[in-house]
């Protein structure tokens, strides 16, 4: 350790600042790497979890529309209004089937590469 004390002050300061700069660079690299991992996780969560929720929302919207059309058909006094309300059932059921197909395809694409870890 005597060799360090025998150095000039300039060299001691330079050694200290370089070691601090090295520590800062390592911390920065670790931070950037972890930010990349977080970003990838957020992208996967968006595409695997949030986008399929839109399909569930479309299913719910069409079920509510079917209920409204049903009540409209039941409260209609003439057959023309009833047939018009029943006509929309098929449209809503097709939309439900399309959303169910998209939702089931999105569920089959989900794969969990790592077990979930508690943080």
Going by C-beta distance under 8 Å and a sequence separation of 6 or more, which residues neighbour residue 107? Answer: 52
Per-residue pLDDT of the chain (119 residues; tens, 9 = 90+): 788 788 888 888 899 999 999 999 999 999 999 999 999 999 988 888 888 899 999 999 999 999 998 898 888 888 888 888 888 888 999 999 999 998 888 876 665 555 555 55
Residue 112, phi-psi category: left (phi > 0), alpha (psi -120 to 50), beta (remainder): beta
Residue ranges of alpha helices (H) inside 6-119 are 9-45, 51-75, 79-109
Task: Give the chain's length.
Answer: 119
CA-wise closest residue to 104 among 38, 59, 37: 59
- Helices 51-75 and 79-109 meet at what angle, rounded to 10? 160
Q: Does the reported pTM lie above 0.85?
A: no
């Amino acid at each position: 350790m005597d060799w360090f004390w025998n150095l000039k002050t300039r060299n001691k300061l330079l050694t200290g600042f370089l070691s601090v700069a090295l520590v800062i660079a390592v911390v920065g690299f670790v931070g950037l790497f972890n930010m990349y991992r977080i970003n990838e996780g957020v992208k996967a969560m968006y595409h695997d979890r949030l986008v399929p929720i839109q399909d569930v929302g479309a299913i719910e919207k069409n079920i509510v529309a079917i209920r409204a059309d049903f009540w409209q058909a039941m409260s209609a006094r003439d057959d023309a209004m009833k047939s018009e309300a029943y006509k929309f059932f098929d449209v809503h059921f097709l939309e439900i089937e399309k959303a169910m197909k998209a939702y089931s395809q999105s569920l089959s694409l989900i794969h969990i590469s790592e077990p979930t870890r508690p943080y």
